[in-house]
Chain A
């Protein structure tokens, strides 16, 4: 007869596998998005500074674009917060599924 401790062991093992698979995937996605944004910002600032020096951009244009980048960063951050919520929802659903699955595996 399986005991509750058997159930806990199965649950821990299943949760660990689930966490490994999900967290690695999300960590990679986040790092990729963050790095891409930083690289693009660096390239944009270089081009805008060159434009300011050459006169292709006025000081007002330059200020607008830099502040626009800040606004864009806020929008990007909101997107990441939203996507994190979606991921957490999926993970919570997955965890609930694992708890039920482990109980069924152990006791039935």
Chain B
């Protein structure tokens, strides 16, 4: 049981730290706050996680048809591109979620060489060869896994005390 005198001693000890002996503490606190700010990252979103898993399955499925003419899959390709764009916009709109948004951006960019580039090549060349499709599917699968892996690593709101 602490009496008023004990409380007084503790308060005095901490006051002493903050004023005399450890003048570095305010600086340390500022550095800690800066670290906390720069390390802020969004919490786990079940919706984002499901979106990424569903789109991975749909993308790999559609890619497997790329030995056939794109003309037969125009509506499916358009729907997939729209869903991918929605996922990117959803990621971009979440606070502290820049890293996940950058991942989506790389994945769907037509000028790059993952899913966006694959769909562009299919449109430009009408059909693609089998080994290329298989290897590109492996890359795209791993790319989705980086998005899914980061999302699942985020702190679940239920873990926060």
Contact = CB atoms under 8 A, between A and B. Distances in A.
Given A83-B153, A89-B155, 12 more contacts: A44-B135, A47-B135, A61-B131, A64-B121, A69-B139, A70-B113, A71-B112, A78-B99, A78-B103, A78-B146, A82-B150, A85-B41
A57 B131 contact: yes
Interface of A is mostly: helix
Interface residues of B, number: 43
Interface string A62-77: 0011011111101110
Interface of A: 1, 4, 40, 44, 47-48, 51, 56-58, 61, 64-65, 67-72, 74-76, 78-79, 81-83, 85-86, 88-90, 92, 107-108
A92 B139 contact: no
Chain A CB within 10 A, most for which of B13, B102, B117, B155: B13
A88 B39 contact: yes
B9 interface: yes
Nearest to B149: A79
A95 B160 CA distance: 15
B59 interface: no
Interface in B114-161: 114, 117-118, 121, 128-132, 135-136, 138-139, 142-143, 146-147, 149-150, 153-155
